[in-house]
């Protein structure tokens, strides 16, 4: 690889030049693998969904309820995250004895953002 790069690339003028060359080579190998993978997926999609195999279009969409269950799971996850956020805000306020500025700093929020969350959760 070094001989090939010596032919086409400028001289490494820094101590970490070979590491950068290796990084560049690894990135190009990754790009080649991704290109081949997506190319194979494209060919598979053309084969799988061609007009001869599917002569009539389906206008009904997905027939299962998987997307409904997924949406419900996301909603439950959002609710649990909000509950955790409310608990953390409550604990931070208790730890700082109600001092919103110190609680906001401990949580990594601005005072305004903490006030909005306090109002949102009714704390």
Structure-token match 């599917």, residue found: 54
Concatenated DSSP letters for 6-24?
HHHS----STTHHHHHHHH
Structure tokens at 69: 């269950």
Q: How many CB atoms lie within 10 A of CB 23?
A: 11
What's the fold here for domain 82-123?
Arc Repressor Mutant, subunit A (1.10.10)
Q: How confident is the model at residue 78 (pLDDT cuts 50, 70, 90)?
A: low
Convert the pLDDT of each residue in 105-120 to its tens digit.
888 888 888 888 888 8
Give the pTM: 0.40
User: So where are the chain's domains?
Assistant: 2-48, 82-123
pLDDT of residue 31: 96
């Amino acid at each position: 690889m070094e001989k090939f790069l010596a032919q086409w690339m400028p001289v490494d003028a820094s101590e970490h030049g070979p590491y950068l060359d290796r990084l560049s080579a690894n990135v190009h190998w990754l790009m080649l693998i991704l290109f081949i993978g997506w190319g194979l997926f494209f060919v598979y999609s053309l084969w799988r969904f061609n007009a001869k195999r599917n002569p009539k279009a389906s206008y009904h969409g997905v027939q299962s309820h998987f997307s409904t269950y997924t949406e419900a799971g996301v909603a439950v996850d959002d609710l649990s995250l909000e509950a955790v956020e409310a608990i953390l805000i409550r604990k931070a306020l208790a730890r700082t004895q109600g001092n919103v500025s110190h609680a906001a700093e401990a949580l990594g929020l601005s005072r305004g953002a903490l006030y909005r969350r306090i109002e949102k959760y009714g704390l």
